[in-house]
């Protein structure tokens, strides 16, 4: 019966087997080293960016509600002051009417014909009777004025009640937006803390802008106030991002631009959306230092053009006021206050 023993491998067979084994091992190593999908920390960074964007949108909504709350608070205070003044006038009018009524009672309690008979001086009686008529007419006028004042007082009190109701609603809105911002920022911090130290360092390096002064020569500001506003913004370089803050120790994006223009004597609205509409729109390629550059379709971020393709802005929590390229994200508008 024929033998079926396995033939020993030749030299060339052994070489081929070794090469095949090496290639298989190398493929396994390369496959492990180069994943087909993005690295986990890239996904984390993308999620952090999304949370920062949503937090900034909620921050601008918070700023708007807070500004509305301040306005309503001032309106309530003004109405309350007006009510207090009216109440004082009403009290004075009531006191005066009481005095007039007492005088009329004391002088006019008798029947006129009896008073005339008892009077030693008819001319004196007639003078007193004329005075009583005048007092009666004056009293009637005072009563009408009192009624008018009471109607106004009631209207003002009703207005104060409505304004207080709007104020309380606005306060609830502010609190809701504040919770949203804090929740999203806390989640972003949690995700960043989940990265390794080397990944966090790489993330910080990739996000860092310029705190130094870039070359801004070649373009002049559109006006003296725009130049003054830019100088103010530059003085804030390195200050921290603080959501809801408008200086001078910390800023959010619209807080920085509002504060900077305030130093130049220009009052800007509080929110990035309102600031984007507070002036003349100009094309991006015609932007000049001091112009306001709004970002994203909803204008939820804003910075100030500094010249030579750079903006100065308060980027997001954890990043100080700094310079970044104007094209760092999609530009929605450029406004010249």
Please state the separation of Cα 61 from the chain's center in Å: 6
pTM of the model: 0.63
Which of 41, 52, 177, 313 is flagged as catalytic?
A: 313
CB contact set of 206 (below 8 Å; sequence gap of 6+): 45
- Is 301 annotated as catalytic? yes
How much is the pLDDT for 82? 87
Which of 41, 52, 177, 253 is flagged as catalytic?
A: 253
Q: Alpha-carbon distance 308 to 291, whole Å?
A: 13
How much is the pLDDT for 104? 52
- Is 253 annotated as catalytic? yes
Between helix 224-235 and helix 253-263 the angle, nearest 10°, is: 130
- Residue 20's Cβ-count burial label (10 Å; 0-12, 13-18, 19+) is exposed
Tokens representing residue 153 in the block: 């007082």
19-28: long-range contacts (C-beta < 8 A, 24 or more apart)?
A: none
Q: For tokens 């911002």, name the residue.
A: 181
How much is the pLDDT for 32? 37
Q: Would you call 144 helix, strand, or coil by DSSP?
A: helix
Q: Identify the CATH assignment for 41-193 out of 1.10.10.10, 3.30.360.10, 1.10.287.1490, 2.40.37.10.
A: 1.10.287.1490
- Is 4 annotated as catalytic? no
How much is the pLDDT for 92? 83
CB contact set of 328 (below 8 Å; sequence gap of 6+): 295, 311
How much is the pLDDT for 186? 87
Query: In b/e form, how buried is each residue of 32-69, taking b as 16+ CB within 10 angstroms?
Result: eeeeeeeeebeebbeebeebbbbbbbbbbbbbbbbbbb
Same fold, 41-193 and 213-336: no
Domain spanning 213-336: which superfamily? endopeptidase domain like (from Nostoc punctiforme) (3.90.1720.10)
How much is the pLDDT for 4? 36
How much is the pLDDT for 120? 52
Q: In the chain, what are the domain boundaries? A: 41-193, 213-336
Using CA atoms, how far residue 194 sits from 191, 207, 295, in Å, is: 5, 18, 29
pLDDT tens per residue, the chain (337 residues)? Answer: 443 333 334 343 433 333 333 334 333 333 333 344 445 467 887 888 888 888 888 899 899 988 888 888 898 888 888 888 888 887 887 777 666 555 554 555 444 544 444 445 555 555 555 555 555 565 566 667 777 778 888 888 888 888 888 888 888 888 888 888 888 888 888 887 887 777 767 666 666 555 555 666 667 898 999 999 999 999 999 999 998 999 999 999 999 999 999 999 999 999 999 999 999 999 999 999 999 999 999 999 999 999 989 999 999 888 899 999 999 999 999 999 9
């Amino acid at each position: 019966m024929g033998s079926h023993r396995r033939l020993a491998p030749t030299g060339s067979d052994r070489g081929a087997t070794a090469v095949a084994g090496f290639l298989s091992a190398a493929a396994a190593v390369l496959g492990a080293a180069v994943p087909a999908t993005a690295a986990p920390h890239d996904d984390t960074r993308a999620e952090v960016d999304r949370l920062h964007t949503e937090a900034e949108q909620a921050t601008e909504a918070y700023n708007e509600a807070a500004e509305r709350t301040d306005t309503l608070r001032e309106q309530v205070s003004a109405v309350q002051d007006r009510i207090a003044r009216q109440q004082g006038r009403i009290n004075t009018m009531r006191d005066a009417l009481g005095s007039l009524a007492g005088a009329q009672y004391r002088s006019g309690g008798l029947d006129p014909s009896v008073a005339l008979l008892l009077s030693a001086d008819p001319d004196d009686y007639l003078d007193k009777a004329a005075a009583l008529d005048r007092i009666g007419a004056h009293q009637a006028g005072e009563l009408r004025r009192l009624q008018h004042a009471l109607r106004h007082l009631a209207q003002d009190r009703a207005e104060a009640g409505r304004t207080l109701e709007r104020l309380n609603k606005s306060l609830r809105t502010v609190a809701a937006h504040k919770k949203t911002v804090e929740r999203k920022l806390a989640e972003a911090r949690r995700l960043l803390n989940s990265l390794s130290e080397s990944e966090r360092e790489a993330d910080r390096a990739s996000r860092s802008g310029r705190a130094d002064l870039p070359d801004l020569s070649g373009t002049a500001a559109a006006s003296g106030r725009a130049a003054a506003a830019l100088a103010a913004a530059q003085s804030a370089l390195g200050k921290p991002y603080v959501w809801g803050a408008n200086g001078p120790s910390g800023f959010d994006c619209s807080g920085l631009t509002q504060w900077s223009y305030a130093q130049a004597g220009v009052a800007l609205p509080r929110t990035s959306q309102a600031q984007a509409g507070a002036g003349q729109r100009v094309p991006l390629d015609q932007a000049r230092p001091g112009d306001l550059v709004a970002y994203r379709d909803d204008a939820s971020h804003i910075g100030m053009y500094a010249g030579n393709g750079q903006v100065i802005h308060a980027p997001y929590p954890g990043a100080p006021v700094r310079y970044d390229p104007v094209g760092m994200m999609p530009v929605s508008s450029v406004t010249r206050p």
